[in-house]
Amino acid sequence: MILDVLFPNRCIHCNRIIDGNLLVCSLCFEQIHFTHFGYHSENNLKEKCKLLFPVENAFSLMQFEKENLSRKIIHELKYKSRENAGKVLAEWLIDSLEFKEKPDLLVSVPLHPKKLKERGYNQLHLFTESLSKFYKIPFSHDLIKRNHYSKAQALKDKQHRLETLNTFSITRPISNQHILLIDDVFTTGNTLATVAWEILKAGQNKISVLVMAMDE
């Protein structure tokens, strides 16, 4: 297409021209700090989650270190209208994640309707849908409702992120389900914990966690 010639897709890190479905070139891909966690094994993310709520398994695709490439990738996904980055991240994760026992449902952390309207998309939806299609696990984008609007986590200082400013609610009864809760970045774990407890309180449910990146 003419637009592809005039405005070719470029690596978000080094600016090389790359295939339209990619985020980074092969050289920059090698610079991404993947965690290499085992989903069913003990790992740093699971230990952090266990301090906040009962968790079965936990997995993070990347490390979210200051000034590293994973931070730039998440920023492109959330704030630069690169919704397709969610599909790319799902493809990377599929190469790393194996389920010995599949969860019953994939649930993404919701945006407030006002935030969704501002951004035009939820950065987790295409990611979750891609995983659902590959692993043949159903998903829900509306099981959890965010009740309050707030500014982005990235714009808050650390103290504010520690405070539970956002509350969530369950939109329908759910029990005896193993829920894989999906978010973009684990920082303090405050948001995930708030959602997890709502699900746990709703019935005899179990929670596992999957994030694109985790902050040290």
Lowest mean pLDDT among 3-17, 77-91, 103-117, 199-213: 3-17
Q: Which CATH class is domain 32-214?
A: alpha beta
Over range 31-36, report the average pLDDT.
93
pLDDT for the residue 30: 94
Kindly report the CA angle at 171 between 196 and 160, in degrees rounded to 5?
Answer: 45
Query: Could you tell me where in the chain the CATH 3.40.50 domains are found?
Result: 32-214
Among 169, 158, 154, CA closest to 123: 154
pLDDT for the residue 199: 95
- Contact partners, residue 133, CB within 8 Å, separation at least 6: none
Confidence of residue 162 (pLDDT cuts 50, 70, 90): very low
- Output the CA torsion 197→86→133→203 (10° steps): 0
Cα-based distances in Å from 201 to 62, 169, 172:
30, 10, 12
* Model confidence pLDDT, tens digit, residues 197-207: 999 999 899 99
Q: Is the pLDDT of residue 132 over 50?
A: yes
Asked if residue 174 lies in contact with residue 142, where contact means CB atoms within 8 angstroms, the answer is no
